[in-house]
Structures are given as C-alpha cells and as structure tokens.
Amino acid sequence: MIEPGIQGRREWTVTEEMTATHIGSGPVRVFATAMMIALMEKACMSSVEPFLEEGQQTVGTHVDVSHVSATPVGMKVWSESTLVEVDRRKLVFRVAAYDEKGLIGEGVHERFLIDTAKFLAKTGAKNG
C-alpha cells in the first residue's frame, strides 16, 4: 500500500551530457535545471515502485521547484524525496537535491498512478 512517509534517493555524477549547454537550456556548462528535475522525478518514481500493483506505473504531472545553486561537471549530485500526501491516484512528494557542497534545489513534485495499458491506449488514440 502506498502511504505517506515513503522515501527515495537517487544519485548521479554530473557529466557533460547533463549540462545546460549540452541540452540547450542555457549558455553555461553546469548541471541543467531540467536534469535536476529528472533526478528528483527518478527518486520519487523509484521510491513507490515496490508498492505498485501489476500493470501500474506513475507519471509526473506537476513540478514546482527552485534551482538555488550551480553544480560543475564531475561533481556528485543526489535527490531525496518524501511522499507527503496520497489523494486516491495523486501522489505528492517533497523533493530536495544536493551536491557535494550542499543544497542545490528543492520543491514539490506530483505524480499520478496509472494503469499502463489504458494510459498507452489513450495516448495512442491521439495519432488517429
């Protein structure tokens, strides 16, 4: 059963492919905000995976985070998540990201529980 209090953590080392210049989100060669958000989502998603029923997954639906400190290539970064609210299929997480020098970002991320087959069928119907 998915209940508040579930925690997650994911860790990466910043590579050139994770920089703002590489993904096209800015002119500076530092850990991109989009990549920090992806790391946060990964911590949330993986934390609840053991509690999912067969055929279920979660999808991200909302992100409200601040990126407060830049991280250079080669430095370790990690994200920690805590599930703080479950409202039927909506899961709300508090998220924070850190590098070896401290906090780099924090906020809230929402995910929804989905039936994977139904979700893909509905999405595929958009093609015609």
Residue 62 among the catalytic residues = no
Q: 72 — phi, psi (to 5°)?
A: -80, 165
Inter-residue contact 84 to 75 (CB < 8 Å): no
Which pLDDT does position 21 carry in this prediction?
A: 98
The reported pLDDT for the residue numbered 12 is: 98
Q: What average pLDDT score do residues 91-116 get?
A: 98
Q: Which domains does the chain have, with CATH numbers?
A: 7-123 (3.10.129.10)
* Catalytic site includes residue 67: yes
Q: What is the pLDDT of residue 128?
A: 76
**pTM score of the predicted model:** 0.95
Return all residues near 13 (Cβ < 8 A) that are at least 6 apart: 74, 75, 76, 77
Find the catalytic residue in 19, 67, 71, 109: 67
pLDDT, tens only, 3-60: 999 999 999 999 999 999 999 999 999 999 999 999 999 999 999 999 999 999 999 9
Number of Cβ within a 10 Å radius of residue 57: 16
Report DSSP state, residue 28: S
